[in-house]
Structure 1
Amino acid sequence: MNQNLFKVKGTYVNGMWFNEPKTYEVINPSNNSVLAKIPVSSNEELELAVQSATKAQKEWAKVSISKRADLILKLCSRIEDRVEEFALMDTYNAGNAITFARKDVLQAVANMKYFAGLVREVKGETFSMEPKHLNFSRQQPYGVVLKINSFNRPFRWCAEKLAAPILMGNAVIIKNSEQAPISSLKFCELLDGLFPNGLINVVTGGADVGSFLVKHPLVKRIAVISSVQTGIAIAKDAAPLLKNISLELGGKNPLIVFDDVDIDFAVDLTIKGMRFDTKGESCSSPSRILVHKKLHDKYLETLITEVKKIPVGLPWIDTNVVGPVVSKKQFDSVHRFIQSGIKEGAKLELGGDSPKTEDLKDGFFINPTIFSKVTPTMTIANQEIFGPVISVMSWGNYEEMMNIANSTDYGLTAGIVTNSLSNAMKTAEEIECGYVWINAAGRYAGAPYGGWKLSGIGVEECYDELKSYSRVKNINMKWL
């Protein structure tokens, strides 16, 4: 391991590096060793970030859209030159499998390029009511945008999620996850010579840092990727000034398997959707499997057989798939859920423990876990675990199944596996969530991704996300 990979210059504000005296240790979840000491942004530094962003944004708003897009594309080229480095940072810091981390960096680049190409399509409307009259609307930036990101995909959320607000003429302050901040801070090294000082800032710290920025009157627009509890707290802080806020939060997503499908295909979609290469630390993972009773036993047997084959190990080794969860805190949380499942009467079919090998004993590894005989009222059937845990439930009556599928407070994604067009479309219409897969997994730039209920507000990775970083100004004009 190259230790220089994790040496950060500090936090990044107004084009300068800051190293405040207060620091904390960031660990490697694979062995609980210290990767880096990270400075915590002080209130003075945060105030400078807001003030410098405000100043930079006023000049940036005058820059042409084509110039903004060109600079984002140049930034993409710099990322592409260092894909392996950023992938390794997330592998060591967040525990994501290296094969996944490489794809994640490239996906960030692809989505940044998508927004750079799309920004020219953000247009206003015009109409005329009478001679010598014109009504037209314009999209104008908010000013300073605050981005608060989760730990599960640190580089991607940092790089990709700044593209839309920057392209729409805003400045950005990024508050990265304190659990996995390294790739976000190293990313700032790519900004030199491209953007005005103060336009892009990356700060660190806990909830108090986020609260300071959320409440700041000069921060006009806030976008969050987090847990539901964190999202609600941020929304409360933002409410007194009626700030525009979007939330991409958690999920307790069902995968509905009908009795007319190939079992191997259904199991393959289950495993792909669960994202074991991120240890199930994915808000869209289908952690609730609602499988028709005719297929249940064979499906469960096949799922156990296939999940057993998934290699658990050090995530920087290409052949391993399941690495450690991000921290001791997350490790303990997942194990509490597993114990609650056992206590409440679910049958532990696989996993529920940690590897015992010498090279993994000090890390936060959790073997892929499968429960059967899960009922809708159990904790593991209702709450987001954010770990490699699957709950399998059986159903026979369609209406009862739909009631179970829609019974949680979440509404992010759902999967449907069927060969019946009628079943697919009927279920897709009735499911209460923002994103539905039918016989598929994966996402595509341009398709709106966002949740219903407690899973969030707003959509991402599409035209509507880009437009959400601007405000409508209507101009009603007559001339003599």
Structure 2
Amino acid sequence: MTRLPDLEEALPTHHGLFYGGKWHSPCQKQYRETFNPGNGSVITSVAQADHEDVDAAVQAAAEAYPAWRAITPTQRAGYLRKAAEVIRKHATELALIDALNTGNPIAEMLSDANVAAANLDYFAGLIPMVKGETIPRENDQFHYTLREPLGVVARIVAYNHPVMFAGGKIAAPLAAGNTVIVKPPEQAPLSCLRLAEILADVFPPGVLSILPGSVPCGQALSTHPLVKKITLIGSVPTGKAIQRSAADTLKPTLFELGGKNALLAFPDADIDRLVDGITRGMNFTWAGQSCGSTSRVFLHESHHDEVVLRVLERIQALYKPGLPTDMATTMGPVISKAAQERVLDFIASGKQEGAHLALGGGIPTGNAAIEGGYFIKPTVFTNVQPHMRIAREEIFGPVMSVFKWKDEEEVLRQRTVGKIDAGFIWVNQVGRHFLGVPFGGYKESGAGREECLEELLSFTQTKSVNISLA
């Protein structure tokens, strides 16, 4: 049994802005309350960076950049591995903070910091791959290339796994020799602040900055001329807004955006494994708040009724809403009151448009411990049709839509993996990530690939050198 630290001792003691190796108060003295989604209570208030704060942080990161890019690959790898070691040491407290601030159950969050540490170790090992090439010469000409870092990189991360994203996504740009500014999710910034505290003495001042804030902070980062690349894990509208803001400075972007993922079951599917995959693939544990949730399930008419019945039984047995900081809790709330209202509106639209509400559909009652929290029962609709809103739009909540099909052409129009228009396809399982295997989406689900060599190289630029031997 994992022993949890005292919550008060785990929480960060700093609530300001971290850059230049120091903590700073926001220039405009703006702070924002951050909540415990499990009961709706205020945890504390956190600084909000505006344009002036962003400029100061970017200047500090730019000043730190020449020395950071100049150190040897072995030295840089050592810094990343030290950061991984520190994060692993504090993994349980970071998980507890995220459980409190995001609502995701602590039992599921325990691995997040270790995933972040694994990313740091992985990219530390890939640093020697940041290298150029020699090109066959032409007569008296000699050519070679160099791979060089970009400069200051900004990474905006999402609220469903803050420390996993913040700790893991600094790895590739730092490994490539860039300095990094992380903007934590405005709804759940506390684990990122604690991350800044524990890594403050690991990296040289200015190499890593943590700037909590909302839209003004993100806008300032995406338009600042010294920020050479900006990335996002977030929604499609936010990605489009950042792309527009970055256009004036021709900033490259890397986006991991939303998804309306499909689980397609063929008539010969193993029913036991299918029921397990459908149940786990929806990510009910963190209330469906995942861009990888398989929220659309296509079942063949030959097994539709049996599978639906078994999935409903399995969901009811496995997912019990409860306090996020309780190790026994198997399902948490959505992130905010606004998110709860948005998801309930989707559920209402599903009913109005004629889908059959097979399970859930409302706020759980009868548990005084979670009153005031932003909970929604695990919800399943059947008889869903493609034109319905719940079938077309990403809900980002615990709502699954089930479709019945009989003709392969009507459900897919193509059969092979090579023709499915998606960035990642799982066959006979759901949702796993593998370091070294490119992760990312097609169409509006994102741009670029992460968790692989391609991510590392995307934080570099190529310089070609010609030497005349005449």
Interval of TM-score (by shorter of Structure 1 and Structure 2): over 0.9
1:65 and 2:78 equivalent?
Answer: no
1:3 and 2:5 equivalent?
Answer: no
Q: Which residue of 2 aligns with 1:15?
A: 21
Distance in 2, matches of 1:43 and 1:16, equals: 18
Instruction: List aligned pairs for 1:80-229, cutoff 5 A.
Output: 80-229=88-237
Contact 1:264 1:302 in 2 (8 A): no
SS of equivalent residue, structure 1 residue 309: helix
Code of the aligned partner of 2:164? R
Q: Which residue of 2 aligns with 1:417?
A: none
Q: Which residue of 2 aligns with 1:350?
A: 359
1:326 and 2:316 equivalent?
Answer: no
SS of equivalent residue, structure 1 residue 271: helix
SS of equivalent residue, structure 2 residue 137: coil
Q: Which residue of 2 aligns with 1:416?
A: none
Q: Which residue of 2 aligns with 1:367?
A: 377
Q: Which residue of 2 aligns with 1:450?
A: 440
Tell me the alpha carbon deviations over residues 99-157 of structure 1, each in whole angstroms, 9 at most, x when there is no partner.
21111111111122111111212322212233543211111111010101111110011
Contact 2:150 2:228 in 1 (8 A): yes
Q: Which residue of 1 aligns with 2:394?
A: 384
Contact 2:222 2:242 in 1 (8 A): yes
Code of the aligned partner of 2:227? V
Please state how far the C-alpha of 1:12 moved relative to its aligned partner: 0.4
Please state how far the C-alpha of 1:273 moved relative to its aligned partner: 1.7
Structure 1 segments unaligned to the other structure (5+ residues):
404-422
Instruction: Decide which of 368, 388, 396 is 2:406's aligned counterpart.
Output: 396
1:439 and 2:428 equivalent?
Answer: yes
Distance in 1, matches of 2:392 and 2:211, equals: 34
Please state how far the C-alpha of 1:263 moved relative to its aligned partner: 1.6
Contact 1:13 1:45 in 2 (8 A): no
- Paired positions, count: 459
Contact 1:273 1:285 in 2 (8 A): yes
SS of equivalent residue, structure 1 residue 390: strand
Contact 1:8 1:182 in 2 (8 A): no
Contact 2:156 2:233 in 1 (8 A): yes
Code of the aligned partner of 2:395? I
1:461 and 2:451 equivalent?
Answer: yes
SS of equivalent residue, structure 2 residue 397: coil
Distance in 2, matches of 1:105 and 1:276, equals: 21
Contact 2:50 2:220 in 1 (8 A): no
Report the TM-score, using the length of structure 2 for normalisation. Answer: 0.95
Contact 1:450 1:458 in 2 (8 A): yes
Distance in 2, matches of 1:171 and 1:331, equals: 37
Q: Which residue of 2 aligns with 1:430?
A: 419
Distance in 1, matches of 2:159 and 2:114, equals: 18
Instruction: Decide which of 20, 29, 32 is 2:40's aligned counterpart.
Output: 32
Q: Which residue of 2 aligns with 1:408?
A: none
Report the TM-score, using the length of structure 1 for normalisation. Answer: 0.93
Tell me the alpha carbon deviations over residues 397-432 of structure 1, each in whole angstroms, 9 at most, x when there is no partner.
1111115xxxxxxxxxxxxxxxxxxx9xx4312211
Contact 2:151 2:178 in 1 (8 A): yes
SS of equivalent residue, structure 2 residue 386: coil
Contact 1:90 1:155 in 2 (8 A): yes
Q: Which residue of 2 aligns with 1:335?
A: 344
Code of the aligned partner of 1:476? N
Code of the aligned partner of 2:334? V
Q: Which residue of 2 aligns with 1:247?
A: 255
Distance in 2, matches of 1:231 and 1:222, equals: 10
SS of equivalent residue, structure 1 residue 147: strand
Contact 1:6 1:35 in 2 (8 A): no
Contact 2:12 2:191 in 1 (8 A): no
Which segment drifts farther, 37-46 or 212-221? Answer: 37-46
Q: Which residue of 2 aligns with 1:300?
A: 308
Q: Which residue of 1 aligns with 2:462?
A: 472
Code of the aligned partner of 1:3? E
SS of equivalent residue, structure 1 residue 450: coil
Please state how far the C-alpha of 1:190 moved relative to its aligned partner: 1.8
Distance in 1, matches of 2:21 and 2:301, equals: 60
SS of equivalent residue, structure 1 residue 34: strand
Please state how far the C-alpha of 1:43 moved relative to its aligned partner: 2.7
Distance in 2, matches of 1:242 and 1:383, equals: 30
Distance in 1, matches of 2:394 and 2:334, equals: 15
Contact 1:97 1:323 in 2 (8 A): yes
CA RMSD of aligned residues (A): 1.3
Tell me the alpha carbon deviations over residues 202-246 of structure 1, each in whole angstroms, 9 at most, x when there is no partner.
111111111011101111111111100000000000112211111
SS of equivalent residue, structure 1 residue 454: helix
Instruction: List aligned pairs for 1:228-239, cutoff 5 A.
Output: 228-239=236-247
SS of equivalent residue, structure 2 residue 65: helix
Distance in 2, matches of 1:133 and 1:195, equals: 41
Please state how far the C-alpha of 1:40 moved relative to its aligned partner: 1.0
Distance in 2, matches of 1:8 and 1:229, equals: 33
Contact 1:7 1:36 in 2 (8 A): no
Contact 1:313 1:322 in 2 (8 A): yes
Distance in 2, matches of 1:385 and 1:240, equals: 32
Please state how far the C-alpha of 1:39 moved relative to its aligned partner: 1.1
Code of the aligned partner of 1:104? D
Please state how far the C-alpha of 1:319 moved relative to its aligned partner: 2.1
SS of equivalent residue, structure 2 residue 322: coil
